[in-house]
Structure 1
Amino acid sequence: MLGSIARFTNDSVGLEKSLKFVQSVSQIGESIAAPYFFEAAHWTLAKEQVGLARRYFRLFKWIDCFNAAQAEYARINNKPEVKADEVHAQKLTRTSSEDDVRQLLSVSKWSFLGIYLFMEMFTISNALSITSYSWGPTLQMESLKFWFYSLAVSFVLGIYDLWLMSAAESESQPTDTSTTDSGSTENEKATKGAQAPQHTKDASAQLSSKRRAIYKQIVQDGCDMLIPASIVGWVQLDPVTVGVAGSISALLGASDAWNRVNQ
């Protein structure tokens, strides 16, 4: 158990999600303890210091975001040409257009996130009280808008992935019953009948796992969207609601990190 905890806390994502959970809980505590000045001050200090610590983890993450956006954009323009008959070509064209939509959403997601992190990077000196640039708060507020845009696109991307999975499942429903009725011996039918359930079971398990991951990401994005939306003023929410949303997102992200490092 201690080894699992050590691997989790030594992982940057796991540690960052843990700090996010502490920050969200501190925000809830700050709001609940508001009538008591000294207790509220402790919660406020904890929230601010943990929030500042989290910023170190993402100080240069904009580089990874822009690299991911560039890689997705390159995939759109570097698709091999496939020769096929008319029916198969129509299916390939439709699949290609669906992939283009998905990759366009992915490019937008990573680009918006990179812009947010790049803009926020220039406000770190103000957060450390080293400088007091007048444009710092404005830049911070504008950067949060791009974070919201990235989360919104990621939310739409998750829904689109679910739609693609449903479409793929509906197309794969027809089985090879017509081919087995003509030209197959009884032994071949028996062999196929024995192999099909196991193959179907494995494929179904993979799809279920992928679908759960997408659902989890959608919930995370939905919870995280409340944070910048409330700070910017697009949505009027009390701090407790925002803190609960941040806690849920942190726990979901931490569970993914835990499973990844302890496989």
Structure 2
Amino acid sequence: MIQKFSRFVNTGSGLEKTLRLIQCVSQVVAALTESSALAVQLTTVKLQLALTRRYFRFFGFIDSFQRVSALLGGDGFSSVTGLIDLAKWTCFGLYFVLEDLTILHAMGVYAVPWNDRVMDQANTFWLYALSFSVVGSIWALLFSSPKQPAKVTKNEKAQEKVAPVHTTAASTLMKRVVVDGCDLLIPLELLAWWPTGDVVIGSTMMLSTLLTAQDIWTKLA
């Protein structure tokens, strides 16, 4: 267990999820303890970890726009799923770019007067990206069907093998809906479109972090 945890935190994604979990726990405890000295300390922890995690996704726009490029060169406009993915990754890419523009301000290196406006736009694109992701997952759950071999109806054993694959895919999609649905509350809170408070935000962050960390954990040998 200790060796596996060591491998987990030594991966970029595993370390980021670990820091995110500490951040959301700190946020919840700080909100519950309110104006105590502990709350002030934990709020500092939360803010510092939030900044640290920005470094992990600094180049996230590269992967996002590569996905956009692949979709444009493939079936991006030929299917509903392609259109949703195209919109999702475009919004994610714009979110990463706009957030990166304010990194020096967040580090306290170079303050800019337009930080709040740019971050509002970044969080708006993040909200759109997560919304498209939820819609895409629900669409896939409702309208996608597993690809079965031609002789599956004549072979019961083949049917038994196909069903678990489809079940696993559906489970993955449902988990993605839950994760993105939880994370949707963060930009809604930041934009003040639907304020829910630190306890709710921290708790839903904790849930989405544990679910995504579980996927990373299970992939480790």
Quickly name the TM-score band, shorter chain normalised: over 0.9
Q: Which residue of 2 aligns with 1:42?
A: 41
Q: Which residue of 1 aligns with 2:62?
A: 63
- Deviation per CA, 1:42-66: give whole Å up to 9, x if none: 1111101111110010011101100
Give the TM-score, by structure 2 length.
0.93
- Separation in structure 1 between the aligned mates of residue 197 and residue 51 of structure 2, nearest angstrom: 22
Of the candidates 198, 206, 211, which is equivalent to residue 239 of structure 1?
198
Of the candidates 70, 88, 92, which is equivalent to residue 109 of structure 1?
88
- Separation in structure 2 between the aligned mates of residue 35 and residue 139 of structure 1, nearest angstrom: 30
Q: CA deviation at 1:113?
A: 0.3
Matches within 5 A, 1:146-185: 146-165=125-144, 168=145
SS at the partner of 2:75?
helix
More moved, 153-162 vs 17-26: 17-26
Look up the equivalent residue of 2:204 and give its one-letter code.
A
Q: CA deviation at 1:125?
A: 0.6
- Separation in structure 2 between the aligned mates of residue 247 and residue 102 of structure 1, nearest angstrom: 29
Matches within 5 A, 1:1-263: 1-36=1-36, 38-76=37-75, 100-165=79-144, 168=145, 192=154, 196-262=155-221
- Separation in structure 2 between the aligned mates of residue 160 and residue 70 of structure 1, nearest angstrom: 22
- Separation in structure 1 between the aligned mates of residue 141 and residue 13 of structure 2, nearest angstrom: 25
- Separation in structure 1 between the aligned mates of residue 22 and residue 2 of structure 2, nearest angstrom: 20
- Separation in structure 2 between the aligned mates of residue 130 and residue 123 of structure 1, nearest angstrom: 10
Q: CA deviation at 1:261?
A: 2.3
Amino-acid identity (%): 30
- Separation in structure 1 between the aligned mates of residue 208 and residue 157 of structure 2, nearest angstrom: 35
Structure of higher RCO (CA pairs closer than 8 Å, 6+ residues apart): 1
What 5-or-longer segments of structure 2 have no aligned partner? Answer: none
- Separation in structure 2 between the aligned mates of residue 232 and residue 72 of structure 1, nearest angstrom: 30
Number of residue equivalences: 218
- Deviation per CA, 1:66-95: give whole Å up to 9, x if none: 001111121127xxxxxxxxxxxxxxxxxx
Q: CA RMSD in A?
A: 1.8
SS at the partner of 1:207?
helix
SS at the partner of 2:79?
helix
Q: Is the 8 A contact 1:73 1:104 kept in 2?
A: no
Look up the equivalent residue of 2:3 and give its one-letter code.
G
Give the TM-score, by structure 1 length.
0.79
What 5-or-longer segments of structure 1 have no aligned partner? Answer: 78-96, 177-191
Task: Kindly report structure 1 stretches of 4+ aligned residues shifted beyond 6 Å.
Answer: none
- Separation in structure 2 between the aligned mates of residue 74 and residue 163 of structure 1, nearest angstrom: 26
- Separation in structure 1 between the aligned mates of residue 11 and residue 164 of structure 2, nearest angstrom: 28
Of the two, which has the highest radius of gyration?
1
